[in-house]
Amino acid sequence: MISHRRKSKSKMRGHSLFVMAAACVAATCAAPPRAFAQHVVLKVNGEVITDYDIEQRSKFIMLASHKQAPRQQVIEQLIDEKLKIQVGRRYKIEMTDNDVDRSYAEMAHRINRNWTADQLTQALAQAGVDSATLKAQIMADLAWQTIIRGRFQSSLQFNEKSVLAEIATRTKDDSTPVIGYDYTLHPILFVVARGESALAEARRRDAEALRARFTSCDAGLSLARSLAGVVVREPITKNSSELGPALRDILDKTEIGHLTAPEATPQGVELFALCAKKENKADTPEKAQAREKLFAEQFESKAKHYLQELRRQMMVERPK
């Protein structure tokens, strides 16, 4: 090919032009959609927000809420995110890709217990949404939570008096004692390899058979340890305030020395032996809920005012 090019300069020029043109066409075809929509709408302290950013965020909001957000509302949301990331850098708080990926995977699991991060990415892509727009929002939120918690730490802690006062506003008779429990549990796992659905059903029947024979932790745990393919794990202690209402209800209906109903898990079929249950008036579900409510209200208030302060200080440029 090189010898052919040397035969004629004109042919070489023509060939070069053809190669350049072909390369341009190939690059255009291969370029991601973002390359076509990089018109800068505005700059926030020097950092750009483009038409593509607005379009992507609009699509994501539509997907998440099933409502079309006004363009200006989307822009304001993106401005807030820029400010959160920028102030995070100022305080040297930058979330790593691992932090974002972990939260992204957790979000996928919350949407669908069987989803992986890749499956969430695929679902977004089907709606025309680049996963980067969601990850940008996650990064901003993670940085912002760290900043608010650190900057207003003292305002986000509540004493027992404040917690009890919050509980009293929600109960008709605040003189009634609120009782929580500490549960001592032994997890028991009937191991099932992935993909063996037939074995899973057999293991569930084995778990039910153990449950019928299990009447005390001493004898029952020894029996469970003697069974093939069964793992008895170390005991764990959980307080009522750490458990959701459904799980608290299950444990309250389970007699001490007995097993909970078997549940399927990625590792197999799992039950819990309830071996002890003690009253705990210091930590209760009501107190945990009251603390969460007080924290959320104070966090939202501090975050709102701080964001307003950042907005007053920001410099916004709108290219003509």
Average pLDDT of span 245-249: 81
User: What pTM does this model have?
Assistant: 0.58
Whether the Cβ atoms of residue 197 and residue 320 lie closer than 8 Å to each other? no
User: Nearest 5°: phi and psi at 153?
Assistant: -55, -45
Dist. CA 58–CA 137, nearest whole Å: 13
Query: Average pLDDT of 251-272?
Result: 91
96-127: pLDDT as tens digits: 889 999 999 999 988 887 788 999 999 999 99
Contact 67, 61 (CB under 8 A): yes
Neighbouring-strand partners of residue 238 = 183
Q: Nearest 5°: CA angle at 244, between 240 and 248?
A: 50
Instruction: Specify burial of residue 171 (Cβ count, 10 A radius: 0-12, 13-18, 19+).
Output: exposed
- Please give the Cα distance from 76 to 85 (Å, whole number): 14
pLDDT at 310 over 50: yes
Q: Report pLDDT for 275.
A: 95
Asked if 124 and 134 count as a contact pair (C-beta separation under 8 A), the reply is: yes
- Closest Cα to residue 271, out of 217, 219, 317? 217
- In tens, the pLDDT along 35-90 reads 444 799 999 999 999 999 999 999 999 999 999 999 999 999 999 999 999 999 99
